[in-house]
Amino acid sequence: MKAIILSAGRGERMRPLTDNTPKALLRVGEKALIEYHLEALAAAGVTDVVINLAWLGEQIPERLGNGSRYGLAIEYSHEGQAALETGGGIVHALELLGPQPFWVVNGDIYTNFTFDNNYLADSDLGRLVLVPNPEHNPAGDFGLSDARVVNSAQQMHTYSGIALFRPELFAGQQEGAFPLAPILRTVVDQDRLAGQLHEGLWIDVGTPARLAQVERIRVRQGAVRL
């Protein structure tokens, strides 16, 4: 099983913390943010991880190496100085990800989600993990109906940045910088995306204030184990 951790973004909202450090390497407790994902993926049986790189990307392989100390094999997808966004970053890395379904994880989230359910129905191109809407996204992104993702519903949820995708989801997509969301909405209209709601710990660590929030949670809970 493979996974890609999306870690190429500039992290503008996290400045000045990201002026000299890529967001994935910002510390949460005793570890870099990305290390929690690596440990959770390895614990669920993932063997190979691709990490995409752009802004200050050289620092990430310097820190993580080949992944052996996490029980993983890490490969790096280099995008140059300008990130290819979520959709473009995945398409650029498809050759490294191979022909089987793979996990996608945004590098700037903090969560206790476990990656142990790898099931996809034959007709599905993926499964999105949704979460209850945080304060910064009150309208949500997608709804759920009988474990199917829908574009509109009375109760909307937020895309967590975690998904299980077949590479066929990106068939016909050209290389370049583009977001993931339009692809997902098209596939949702075709009823080819499953969904699940994660109601456990999840924080979009997109600003210094939310990074501080994670630290406060760790202190209250005695350092949350992911």
Give the CATH number, domain containing residue 108: 3.90.550.10
Q: How confident is the model at residue 110 (pLDDT cuts 50, 70, 90)?
A: very high
Mean residue pLDDT of the chain comes to: 93
Three-class HEC string of the chain? CEEEEECCCCCHHHCCCCCCCCHHHCEECCEEHHHHHHHHHHHCCCCEEEEEECCCCCHHHHHHCCCHHHCCEEEEEECCCCCCHHHHHHHHHHHHHCCCCEEEEECCEEECCCCCCCCCCCCCCEEEEEECCCCCCCCCCEEEECCEEECCCCCEEEEEEEEEECHHHHCCCCCCCCCCHHHHHHHHHCCCEEEEECCCCEEECCCHHHHHHHHHHHHHHCCCCC
Residue 2 above 90 pLDDT? yes
pLDDT of residue 55: 84
Find the domain containing 183 and state its range: 2-221
Residue 140 lies in a domain: yes
- Interval 53-103: pLDDT, tens: 998 889 999 999 999 999 999 999 999 888 999 999 999 999 999 999 999
Q: How confident is the model at residue 180 (pLDDT cuts 50, 70, 90)?
A: very high
Evaluate if pTM is beyond 0.75: yes
Residue 226 lies in a domain: no
Higher-confidence residue of 220 and 183: namely 183
pLDDT of residue 114: 96
Residue 226 above 60 pLDDT? no
Residue 130 lies in a domain: yes
Residue 193 lies in a domain: yes
